[in-house]
Structure 1
């Protein structure tokens, strides 16, 4: 995908820069010259254009939700139930968007959420996102289900900050291997996703018979892992010694799938085509990538397995939040996986309010699911989030303009957050409080 760089990219470094005004000014100055943004500044148009630019399978996977989509609608409806109350003549001319997490300062309260199988949108999606994150000063939570190995993705950030997602495999040695690689590559936190021990019912993908991992897409962290490859080779050897033969049903779809697996697997295409390893890797991944029997006792072992701060992603119930902190985790992410796992689930914003009320103001709580704009980030912070994770919007930016598209989306979200703070009298992101929001009287 061609790189279309917009001028300028908004990076958040000091309180006096005024991200909102500088972003607006850049767009309006370009407008004087007859130029319009490549990436729309409103979410509805961004989504519409991204859908048009994406394949049916890519759009089903990235934009789709569980069941009838009620959880996705719940996420947005929860934001609509609240209203911001701006304060006037506050005299605050500068904003400080920085927040502190795990004893380190972040320039803004925004991180990029892990989104798997980005190869459906662009073959180099993980690298586009990594470079965009580094350029805008926003940490990127590497997806465990990425197409590009974490080592290459970290190198592309050239010192940019990142965290690492972990899906808990049924193979404990693979869990340790993935954690060890994350530590070695400079990850600043380990984000354990709890809510996808099984894939939710996703009709958009099911109706197309489309699972990217079955095509060899989104398993790059695994096919680059020495423990995973050993499991694959052991399985191939066991099948050979037992005389077990793979299904050789030949259809056009089977041929296309084999070609896809072969292209995605490390090594040369022609060598892979003659090898059983690409297909065996896909089958092994589908068997072991996530553990349906995940228990709190597994989480307890993390303190012995990593020196990184541990973040649990997918918490929605206050009792689970209490349990997590009782086990000594460093933070949690209130998230319903963007509405992709359980239909009719509680909205993440409603869960955030309940969780924060239950655990008090001190524990570190991040928020994910339903964030579309800078005003959404402001609302989540007002309800007790210490920071927010942005997901689908930046992927839509990639669909439109690769790295530059992701940068534009990030810049727009941060600009709107900055302007919302300026117009409500909030001088510091870390101090945005519940007093600035009320139940929406029109709802």
Structure 2
């Protein structure tokens, strides 16, 4: 039994247990506005989406769930985004217990810490970062909801807490039937949420290193993540603005300031946040393609973001560039990238493509929708983004199950899932002779 309880198996198992608990709670009469127990599949879908911090919904969060149900969703978001095993580690630390080797390895698997020695300090800083960022965002949102949108104080606080936590955890759940479309040109709502999304999407090790070191020399991973995220952010904002600037069905009717705010939001949210600030069913094909690319890449490792991760994307780009130049080794910022790391990046990317394509094909077989919206939903689910063209509400049970599987695999990680399913690890005690094949 103890041999089975390896970190790569414990993490998916912990997610499954949490999802199960969430499903049971959301299916209770106290969680839904209708009479009797809620639909089990809707409860499962919502629980998976919340724990995997995705934001896709099969029902209207604003009207289907009671305040109790919404509070359960928020708790699942926080636990899923913060990291189930990391949260357990923090709780152990707060009562003065040291992390054992196994608990440390589990936390390392969940946070992708560089080495075991980093984990103990990381989980301490992690809790502080989460608390500070979420508190600041909530403090900014409360006055806006109270004074501008005429919410009473309890409602303003609740809306600020829900959306602030949802944003930092890159979940994309909202308490409005149109998500955040009604706030598309409000800078005091959208920009703080975008800031929370960016910080949460960088990854906990990166944010922790920035807080600890300030402007001092960053590690290669932190530099790749920060500069890569900035590059993708610029590409997303500019590309979205160009694609949607004159589209009357999305942001074409806004003034220049509103269009700029909407462009920033449109460039940030595909980085796995999932707040819908426009009607994506009315977006241009160019915008949908760009959004698919940004969603697939995702954010930083060991954070609340999904996708193949920025570091994976940058590493693959450098590998291709090095091969085109005929270089014998792959280096980034004066450091060589080992071949094992290159293989891992390639494995993650190719498995991700395979999973998304399989999910899209499965939904094409079981639904009547065309390729473009189904691909969008599949990428959004796998990358744990939550953006939607609006078809999720109308998918049959088979389509919802496909999205559930995509969200789970996307959050836990294709490599982790594969390792968790493996019964044993085989080590070769010999080296095979080399032989070349024709490539390309």
Task: Tell me if TM exceeds 0.5.
Answer: no
TM-score range, shorter chain: under 0.3
* Bigger share in helix: 2
Q: Higher relative contact order at CA 8 Å, sep ≥6: structure 1 or structure 2?
A: 1
TM-score by length of 1: 0.27
TM-score by length of 2: 0.27
* Bigger share in strand: 1
